[in-house]
Amino acid sequence: MPRTSHTPRTRVALLASALVAVSLPTIAFAEDSDPEAGADAGRVVVSSDFSGNTLPEGFKAAEGTWQVRDGRLYGSSSNSSQLSRITFGEHLNDFRIEVTARFESVVDNGRWTAMGLDMPAGGAVPWSIATMRTGTTAANGLEFAQRTPSNTWNVTDTHAAPFAAGTGKDVKIAAEVHGTKAVWYFDGKEVMRTSKVARSADGIQGLLVNGASASYDDLKVTELPPRSYIRPAGSPLTVIAHRGASSAAPENTLVSQEIARRGGADFIENDVQPSKDGVPYILHDTTVDRTTDGTGPIRSLTSAQLDGLDAGSWFAPHYKEARVPTLAAQLDDLRTRGGDLLLEIKGSHTKAEVATIVDTIRAHGMTGRVFVQSFEVDALRYTYELAPDLPLGLLRSNLDADPVALAKELHLAAYNPQDSAISKNPSVIADLHKAGVAVMVWTVDSADRWKSLESAGVDAIITNRPTELIGWNNAYRQSQSIPPAKPKVAITSPAADAVLDRAQSPLPTVQSDDADSVTLTLDGKPVPAGTPMDLTTLSTGPHTLRAVATGAGGTAEDTRTFTLKATPTGLAHLIFTSGAKEASISSMTAMLGLKQYSLLATWAKVQSGKSLDADRAALIAGDARALDSAR
């Protein structure tokens, strides 16, 4: 029997039509170590090494040929039209699916296998998958894709893998899914993220093959803790589209929401207020004057009046058809087309008005995809009383005296200050994190501030420029992921194995790259690079220069050896620079000129400490003896 377990938004008006999909949308995922995150977090739902000879219990082949043999699961698709698939597991919001996959044969390099992320148990459409082509180094070698209810393809994200899977090669692949967000892992490395996984109420996991024969081993599905809103180290900033993509489309409209979604924003941030007849609408201002062709406070207008307003022409003529959406319409759009909502309860609300908002969220099945924030403490208290499962964020223009205590009192998942406030006291970020509270900063459109806030450790940024922030995020992550280059260093002077005499003053020269500091030593003693060496203090024989470069990428060194040789010219230099009196110098130069080296050595020894400095006397005597020996 196989070892298998199963348990229960006119500057960029063209953007709306041109923007289809942007790779690598960002969201921070973290495994929450809090045991209250869920009793089943970390539960292994499926685990099989296919050691038997039959399909494991609970595996259901929906199309194509699937069989277990030789310790692997084999799946076959006879041609490029057949979508062979097998399902297993159970419905999970947060999970990891991993498997070792191998292409046995393929019709062509465009054929693929996939991990099913959300599939009906019977294998029918629609489903969401993470795909690997045999030609994985192609631009679309890896994909997140959907098979729609109309049985057509919607490829949401593509990326090239670091190497080709080819055939006959085991590749470890995995995907981590948190609601509509997922991360693709290839050979243990993250390669792509998405926020567009289409989810159903009961979809389970699976494997698929197209135009290929593939085999699998070590399949595992593990339930994960719900995602944390605190950004793990190394993860990108969470991108929150302020009133949708409000720099590209009329704010708080479905078209602004669509552009933000297509750009890959992690959350759409919108404002909700009631109409005169109590219907929650998406609008920021207390009046409709600025963003519609109407006038008056939103609370004095009926839903019928609000529905007839033009909410797009103020921004650009071609947005004339945009309307002020109801909360219900926005939630429907998010549920069917993807995206999560950071919903601001705007202005003072009664408990009954908050209840209407909560009921609307529940009625549309979006409690797991809505994060509620407000400046109004009462609105947050009401929300917690009515729906403690909804995460809460407190908006602030200035920091409170004790943000941590207030966060605990209000059961906050996030504390959301204005940028100018957090910049005055960024240390509060760490304090909030220790209390398990994320920090979402508003409203920041400057790349310089994005960098500062990223470095300070904030978790999310609310911005009018979500697509730009996503691009910045990706570029920043890429630069951070490139390891620092190892330093290079080379001694370029004196020449290697040079033979020098004391009359010379060689200039030690060092070249280095990617180094923060370079030290140079001569026979172990520090010497300044670029300063001529004084050879009148060295003994004859070999000497070693050593350069050590240190940088972020480590250290590097280079050594160079030269030989100091006794020569008449060098000895004359020793004598003339000895500081002796003129009579002594005359005596020594006379002996040197007559090549009376032995007599010069004896004279220097006798005069040591008298007419000659002792150290210089020793060097003169040594060079003289060496010259005498060399004759």
What are the tens digits of pLDDT across the range 419-432?
999 999 999 999 99
pLDDT at 232: 86
pLDDT at 474: 84
| Backbone phi, psi, residue 147, to 5° | -100, 115
Torsion of CA 257, 263, 269, 272, to 10 degrees: 0
Q: Distance (Å, rounded) from C-alpha 128 to C-alpha 338?
A: 12
CATH number of the structural domain 10-223: 2.60.120.560
Q: Is residue 10 predicted with pLDDT exceeding 90?
A: no
- Collapsing DSSP to helix, strand or coil, 563 comes out as strand
Helix (H), strand (E) at residue 409: helix 403-410
Closest to 296 in 3D by CA, of 304, 307, 306, 288: 288
pLDDT, tens digit, for every residue of 121-138?
Answer: 999 999 999 999 999 999
pLDDT at 228: 83
378 token code pair: 């009462």
- Collapsing DSSP to helix, strand or coil, 461 comes out as strand
pLDDT at 368: 87
Q: What is the 8-class DSSP label of residue 21?
A: -
The length of the chain is 631
Q: What percent of the chain has pLDDT over 70?
A: 93
pLDDT at 5: 39
> Sorting pLDDT into bands at 50, 70 and 90, what band is 32?
very low
pLDDT at 514: 87
Torsion of CA 15, 18, 23, 25, to 10 degrees: 30
Which are the catalytic amino acids?
A: 242, 284
Q: Is residue 263 predicted with pLDDT exceeding 70?
A: yes
Q: Given phi > 0 = left and psi -120 to 50 = alpha, else beta, which region is 492?
A: alpha
Q: Distance (Å, rounded) from C-alpha 562 to C-alpha 496?
A: 7
Closest to 560 in 3D by CA, of 510, 594, 610, 519: 510
CATH superfamily of 238-481: Phosphatidylinositol (PI) phosphodiesterase (3.20.20.190)
326 token code pair: 């109801």
543 token code pair: 């000497």
- Find all residues with CB under 8 Å of 129, minimum gap 6, and list them: 114, 115, 116, 117, 119, 143, 144, 145, 146, 147, 208
> Sorting pLDDT into bands at 50, 70 and 90, what band is 81?
confident
Average pLDDT of the chain to the nearest whole number? 90
Q: Is residue 26 predicted with pLDDT exceeding 70?
A: no
Closest to 137 in 3D by CA, of 157, 158, 121, 116: 158
> Sorting pLDDT into bands at 50, 70 and 90, what band is 41?
low
User: What string of DSSP letters covers 342-367?
Assistant: EEEE-S---HHHHHHHHHHHHHTT-G
Q: Distance (Å, rounded) from C-alpha 62 to C-alpha 625?
A: 97
Q: Distance (Å, rounded) from C-alpha 283 to C-alpha 583?
A: 103
Segment 81-108 shows an average pLDDT of 95
> Sorting pLDDT into bands at 50, 70 and 90, what band is 42?
confident
Closest to 303 in 3D by CA, of 317, 320, 283, 284: 283
Task: State the burial class of residue 526 (Cβ atoms within 10 Å of its Cβ: 0-12, 13-18, 19+).
Answer: exposed
115 token code pair: 């991990």
| Backbone phi, psi, residue 258, to 5° | -65, -45
Q: Tell me, what amino acid is at 455?
A: S
Helices 597-606 and 582-593 cross at an angle (nearest 10°) of: 160
CATH for 488-563, options being 2.60.40.10, 3.90.1310.10, 3.40.50.620, 2.40.30.10: 2.60.40.10
| Domain pair 238-481 / 488-563, same fold | no
Domain ranges of the chain: 10-223, 238-481, 488-563, 568-629
Q: Is residue 395 predicted with pLDDT exceeding 90?
A: yes
Segment 182-194 shows an average pLDDT of 92
Closest to 251 in 3D by CA, of 303, 305, 319: 319
77 token code pair: 């698709």
Q: What percent of the chain has pLDDT over 90?
A: 80
pLDDT at 479: 74
- Per DSSP (E only), the strands in 108-167 are 112-119, 127-133, 142-147, 153-159
Assess contact for 147 and 119: CB atoms under 8 A.
Answer: no
pLDDT, tens digit, for every residue of 328-377?
Answer: 999 999 988 888 999 999 999 999 999 999 999 999 989 989 999 999 99
133 token code pair: 């082509």
Q: Distance (Å, rounded) from C-alpha 142 to C-alpha 191?
A: 9
